[in-house]
Structure 1
């Protein structure tokens, strides 16, 4: 297991969350992993680490439905900065401890602001995400996710 995967399981168990773990072949693309785990593409919590152009210290973990596209202007507005862009794969791994595609929709760093598009948790009763590794997913009750992660809910999609 990985430390982040173990940390997620421990957090969800401690919070009495309704979730299950799915083991599957390594996959980072949201459409392909949804088919593997038997969920809808829109249930997938696509977590994208963004950095702010005018403030290098501001990082945002933008989380949106797996079948939607991120609007960087909305990310910037939600974060209160002028311009946001995607962090490089190297920056994302350094800041989250995960490769792109394995970043879960949780922030365990005070440096990373968690912003979630409300459509993700309003469309489905459960969300699905790679849990810190490409070969393990979690399917988590949407209400439990919002209760535990405490994200800022803001529209982020095009």
Structure 2
């Protein structure tokens, strides 16, 4: 099991594990997950790591069919600027490879923000820490497990 699944079990989070055959040639891991799981893209969330003021990192979780607003990410984290973190920084801080970054079970606990669109969903899907594997859980459970909060993160 991945660190994400172990974290969900340890924290006694109710979840459903969904697996599908990952296609290595895909260029959008999140949209692939939505399609293969037969779930609306606005319920499948991608985990993005941003660099804040070039000093620290934060996690932003947004629907796979949305784009992250760097201004909104910076504002949520109380920073002046945000930019996508470099892939090696992401892997080093989370312990996951790109396309399989889960908000749960990361090596370092980072400030975490879940897009406000998740508030209307009964459950959301996030990576379980491996390409081709997702966890379905309640948004509030995700926030409690990560110490995160809701924030407006999507580009208009």
Same fold? TM cut 0.5? yes
Q: Does 1:75 pair with 2:73? A: yes
- Aligned to 1:94, the other structure's residue is in SS state helix
Kindly state the Cα deviation for residue 74 of structure 1 after the two structures are TM-superposed.
0.7
Q: 2 CA distance for matches of 1:68 and 1:20?
A: 24
TM-score normalised by L of structure 1: 0.84
Report the equivalent of 1:151: 148
Report the equivalent of 2:14: 18
For these two proteins, the number of residue pairs brought into alignment is 150
For structure 2, which runs of at least 5 residues remain unmatched after alignment? none
Q: Is the 8 A contact 2:114 2:143 kept in 1?
A: no
RMSD over aligned Cα atoms:
1.8
Correspondence for 1:116 among 111, 114, 117: 114
For structure 1, which runs of at least 5 residues remain unmatched after alignment? none
- Aligned to 2:129, the other structure's residue is in SS state coil
TM-score normalised by L of structure 2: 0.85
Kindly state the Cα deviation for residue 148 of structure 1 after the two structures are TM-superposed.
2.4
Kindly state the Cα deviation for residue 102 of structure 1 after the two structures are TM-superposed.
0.8
